Each structure stands twice: as structure tokens, then as C-alpha cells.
């Protein structure tokens, strides 16, 4: 190949190094591996550019400056390779200032040695003069030998880290590590070949050309393989940083591993134990009685259990058995989460629901009481006219037509005389006594109503005329038998009653009430303290007025 061709190759390697460095630099926020690769490719670009320049120029200044630039480029490549390997193996790794300083010591010393005329030959001799071309004398100095050993040592440690991680990696991460190792081996082999060729004092440094291949492979990895875009996370980082406690036990239930969250859980459950001396101890001894029962039952309940291991301390336990490829038990992985706060919230919600349900029951009871009070007479406790209208509107008017319906209307005789003579309190007492008697005389399905004042009504569904008259007589006699004492006097009161009966499909309940009222008027007009049925009723008051007798007091 002509000298011009070699210069083009070196220049191409420099361009590829710059492009790769820019590509990965954009991803430096995700992982330090991006920064390491960017530094490495920056060194490759500088190395390649300086090789292109020194092989295309006969300038003494260029050739004198080449050793220092070469040492700077190699120093960047070596330090970047170390950072790349550390960042890929452990994505959480970040270089400390002290480490950066140590990595910079050797390159800085070599740059100074290569820049000073007095020490330049210790690094590289033969580039101080010459012409264009790649096959000219270049003697490697003793400092360069020391530098080479140092660089190989750092790079060797880096490759060893990558190789160890590659052995345990799986999937995409394994492919990424494989690409890195392959590209690194190509560049290293090229450098070794170049140095061996230069041992006789002839030849040129073709290492940048091998880095051209490395740059192309790394570019492909970045653009096509998702390298540094899909950053893997080490298992140790996952287990150590998850908030759940992870405990690993062998088939004998002896603890063999746990994460920091597991140590915090044990410290919560058993504060008397030494958190640093847990591995190798039986799980039963570490967990305590209540927690041990929860762990034991978790396996029986499809690997999941919620247990209260202390007062107010709840844990959610998930139990996963671990087996080898032959199905032999290797142990169990217990993932434990402290759900005390969630349980407390759930208990609070359940308590609120219970209180709410109780309040709903109270409200329903109060509503029922209010509804009942709305249809009750406050003085006597009997139903009022509103309730009577609701009963009739609810279907009693027509539903019981085939079974009959009897209505008894009652009115206390000479009630005004009681109020005038003994006062309204005595009148209320009489009303209450009559109401109690009527309430005691009704049966299931009957309805006793205070219509207002001293007038009452009783509905008897299914009763015929004979039964209704008999019931009315019983009520009349019961009222008359009661003796009331007011102001040292003993009196009796009587009631008059009117009865109306519908024995089949006939008049409506409203018509029946009117008939009972007319019968009541007849009873009062013909002497009071009696029962009159509607079919025995005399003509109304407009046709046959009857004078009231004196009150029976």
C-alpha cells in the first residue's frame, strides 16, 4: 500500500473514533460505561490522527511532538478501557476523584517525558526527523517499555472483569459483553503485533488501524445492538436495593443469605439478635414463634400468606421453592413485605364501614320511627287519619272485597261535659283510657284509629255483620266498665258506636265509612251508649231530630 493509502486509513480510524465517541457520549447520564467508551474512542481518534499526521508530514515540529501526543492518546485509551469495563460490569459504579488521579499519573509522566527534548528518546527515538512513509526507523525507549507493561496490566485487569461477568451473564447482556471483548481483543492483538515489529527499530505503529476495527464494531453495537441504551442491572443491585426482605434458606430451613431489607426485618422482629450474625442460623431461631408459624404456613397456602407476627406488625410472605435441573430441592426463597401500614389502613376502613353501617341502621330506625310517628296520634298512640287514608289507598278498599270489610266508628258520649267539669287533663285521661281499651281489643290485621277529638274508628278486614256488631258491643261494654277518678269523684264514660259491613263486591270503603258515620249518629240520637248497624240505621238528623239526654257522669 502506498504511503498515501496508509494516511487515509489512519485518518479514517480517527474519524470513526470521533463519531463513536460522540454517539456514546450522549448516553453518559445512564451509565459510566458510556463515558469510559467515549474516552477510549477519543484516545483512539487522537492516536489515529497523530499517526496520519506524522506519516504525511516531514516537519520536525510534528515529529518532535509525536511522542507526547502518542502517550496522551494511549493514556486516554487505557484509562477509558478501565472505566468502560468497570461501568459495564457494575452500572452503579462511579469513579472517585482519587481513582481518576491515580489513572492520570502514568499518562501525565509519559507525556512530560515525551515532550521534553532531554527525555524524549527514553520514550521513542527515530521520529525526530525523516520523511513521509511508514517504514522508517523508530526505536522504543525504556520508558516506553515500562509504559507498555503498565498499560497491559490495566487493560488485562479490565478484560478479566469483563470475562468474569460474561461467564455469568445471560441474554442481551451476554451479547453486549461478548462484543466488547471481541473488539478489545482485536485492538490488543494489533498493538502486540505492532510492538513486536518495532523491536528491531523499524516499522510503524499500525495499532490505530486495529482500533479502526474496534471502532466499527463498537459503532455497530451502539447503533444496532442497543449497547448503552439497554443498560443491564446486576442481580446484586436488584436484590440489595429492593424494599422487600429476601431470605434464602436451605432444605433444612437454615438461613444461607439475606438482603439489607431482610436484616431490617429481623431487627424489627427480633431486636435482641445480632443482625451481623444471622447467616447459618435456623430460620425458626431468627424469626421467632409467631413469624415462624407464618413462614411455615406460607408453603402450605400456595406459597402466599398474610400473618400478624407481632402486635400491629403484619407481613406478607411469598414462598418460592428452588430446585436443581433434576428437580432436587435446593431450598426456598422467602420474599417478605411489611404490610403493617396497609393493614392498619384496611382496619381503619373496615371500622369506618362498620360505623357507617351502624349509622345507616340508626338512620333507618329513626326514619321508621318518624314515619310511624307521622301516622300516630301523639296523645293516644293510635293511628291517625293519615294512616287510615294510607291503608285505604293501599288497596284495602278493593283487595278484600271478596272477604268482607267492617267499619266501627265510636264517639265518647258527653265528652265536652267531662272537659268542662274536670278540665282538659281529665279529658285527655279519658281519651287515653279509651284508646288503650280499643288497642287491646284489636286483632292482627285490624286497625284502630283516632279520627280526631273524641271520635275513633276500627277497621275489621274479613269480618261479617254479626262479628262486627259483637266486637263493637265488647268495646262499648269495656269502655263503660272503666271507672275514672277526678277530683275525688268517680265517674264512668260511655261510647256510642256505628257499624257498617261490606260482605262482598259492593260499595267502596269511603261509602262504608259514611254508612258507619250515619249509624253512629243514629246511636247517639237514640240514647247513646249503644251499637247501631248501618242496615238498622234510622233516618238522618234532618228527618228525625232526637234530643240528647243528660251526660252519664
Q: What are phi and psi of 363, to 5 degrees?
A: -65, -40
User: Residue with C-alpha cell 431490617?
Assistant: 264
| Dihedral sign, Cα of residue 57, residue 58, residue 62, residue 68 | positive
Q: What are phi and psi of 198, to 5 degrees?
A: -90, 0
Cβ neighbours for 452, distance < 8 A, ≥ 6 positions apart? 385
Tell me which residues are annotated as active site.
Answer: 454
Q: How far apart are CA 138 and CA 128, in angstroms?
A: 9
Give 3-state DSSP helix, strand, coil % of the chain, rounded to 5: 60, 15, 25
Contact 207, 115 (CB under 8 A): no
Q: H/E element holding 467? A: helix 465-481
Grid coordinates of 532: 247501631
Q: How far apart are CA 351 and CA 357, in angstroms?
A: 10
Q: How far apart are CA 52 and CA 133, in angstroms?
A: 10
Eight-class DSSP state of 542: T
Burial of 448 per CB tally in 10 Å (0-12, 13-18, 19+): buried
Torsion of CA 381, 384, 390, 393, to 10 degrees: 130
Grid coordinates of 422: 274536670
3-state secondary structure 168-181: HCCHHHHHHHHHHH
Eight-class DSSP state of 442: -
Q: How far apart are CA 34 and CA 21, in angstroms?
A: 9
Q: How far apart are CA 246 and CA 259, in angstroms?
A: 6
Grid coordinates of 96: 472517585
Eight-class DSSP state of 284: H
Q: How far apart are CA 89 and CA 174, in angstroms?
A: 11
Amino acid at each position: 500500500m502506498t504511503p498515501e493509502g496508509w494516511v487515509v486509513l489512519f485518518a479514517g480510524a480517527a474519524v470513526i473514533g470521533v463519531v463513536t465517541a460522540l454517539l456514546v457520549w450522549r448516553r453518559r447520564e445512564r451509565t459510566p460505561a458510556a463515558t469510559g467508551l467515549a474516552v477510549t474512542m477519543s484516545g483512539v481518534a487522537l492516536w489515529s490522527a497523530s499517526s496520519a499526521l506524522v506519516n504525511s508530514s516531514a516537519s520536525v515540529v510534528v515529529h518532535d511532538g509525536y511522542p507526547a501526543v502518542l502517550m496522551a492518546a494511549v493514556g486516554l485509551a487505557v484509562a477509558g478501557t478501565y472505566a468502560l469495563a468497570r461501568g459495564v460490569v457494575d452500572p452503579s459504579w462511579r469513579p472517585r476523584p482519587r481513582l481518576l488521579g491515580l489513572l492520570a499519573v502514568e499518562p501525565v509522566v509519559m507525556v512530560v517525558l515525551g515532550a521534553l527534548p532531554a527525555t524524549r528518546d527514553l520514550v521513542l527515538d527515530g521520529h525526530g526527523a525523516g520523511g513521509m512513509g511508514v517504514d522508517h526507523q523508530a526505536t522504543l525507549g525504556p520508558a516506553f517499555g515500562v509504559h507498555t507493561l503498565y498499560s497491559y496490566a490495566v487493560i488485562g485487569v479490565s478484560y478479566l472483569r469483563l470475562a468474569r461477568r460474561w461467564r455469568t451473564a445471560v441474554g442481551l447482556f451476554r451479547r453486549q459483553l461478548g462484543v466488547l471483548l471481541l473488539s478489545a481483543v482485536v485492538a490488543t492483538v494489533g498493538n502486540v503485533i505492532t510492538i513486536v515489529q518495532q523491536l528491531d527499530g523499524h516499522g510503524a505503529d499500525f495499532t490505530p488501524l486495529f482500533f479502526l476495527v474496534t471502532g466499527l464494531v463498537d459503532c455497530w453495537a451502539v447503533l444496532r445492538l442497543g449497547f448503552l441504551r439497554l443498560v443491564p442491572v446486576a442481580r446484586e443491585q436488584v436484590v440489595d436495593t429492593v424494599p422487600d426482605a429476601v431470605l434464602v434458606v436451605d432444605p433444612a430451613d437454615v438461613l444461607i443469605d439475606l438482603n439489607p431489607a431482610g436484616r431490617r426485618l429481623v431487627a424489627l422482629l427480633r431486636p435482641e439478635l445480632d443482625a451481623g450474625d444471622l447467616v447459618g442460623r435456623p430460620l425458626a431461631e431468627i424469626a421467632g414463634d409467631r413469624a415462624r408459624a407464618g413462614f411455615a404456613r406460607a408453603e402450605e397456602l400456595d406459597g402466599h400468606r398474610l400473618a400478624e407476627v407481632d402486635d400491629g406488625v403484619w407481613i406478607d410472605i411469598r414462598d418460592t421453592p428452588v430446585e436443581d435441573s433434576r428437580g432436587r430441592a435446593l431450598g426456598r426463597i422467602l420474599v417478605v413485605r411489611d404490610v403493617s401500614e396497609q393493614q392498619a389502613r384496611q382496619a381503619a376502613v373496615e371500622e369506618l364501614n362498620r360505623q357507617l353501617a351502624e349509622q345507616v341502621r340508626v338512620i333507618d330506625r329513626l326514619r321508621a320511627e318518624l314515619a310511624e310517628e307521622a301516622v300516630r296520634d301523639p296523645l293516644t298512640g293510635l293511628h291517625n287519619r293519615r294512616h287510615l287514608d294510607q291503608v285505604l289507598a293501599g288497596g284495602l278498599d278493593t283487595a278484600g272485597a271478596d272477604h268482607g270489610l267492617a267499619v266501627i266508628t265510636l264517639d265518647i258520649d258527653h265528652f265536652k261535659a267531662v272537659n268542662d267539669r274536670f278540665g282538659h287533663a281529665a279529658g285527655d285521661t279519658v281519651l287515653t283510657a279509651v284508646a288503650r281499651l280499643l288497642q287491646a281489643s284489636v286483632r292482627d290485621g285490624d286497625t284502630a284509629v283516632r279520627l280526631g277529638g273524641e271520635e275513633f274508628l276500627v277497621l275489621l278486614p274479613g269480618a261479617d255483620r254479626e262479628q262486627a256488631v259483637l266486637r263493637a258491643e265488647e268495646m262499648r261494654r269495656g269502655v263503660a266498665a272503666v271507672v275514672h277518678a277526678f277530683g275525688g269523684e268517680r265517674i264512668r264514660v260511655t261510647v256510642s258506636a256505628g257499624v257498617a259491613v261490606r260482605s262482598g263486591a259492593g260499595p267502596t270503603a269511603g261509602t262504608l265509612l259514611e254508612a258507619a258515620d250515619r249509624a253512629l249518629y243514629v246511636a247517639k240520637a237514640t240514647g247513646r251508649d249503644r251499637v247501631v248497624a248501618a242496615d238498622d240505621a234510622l233516618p238522618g238528623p234532618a228527618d228525625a231530630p232526637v234530643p240528647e239526654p243528660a251526660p252519664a257522669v
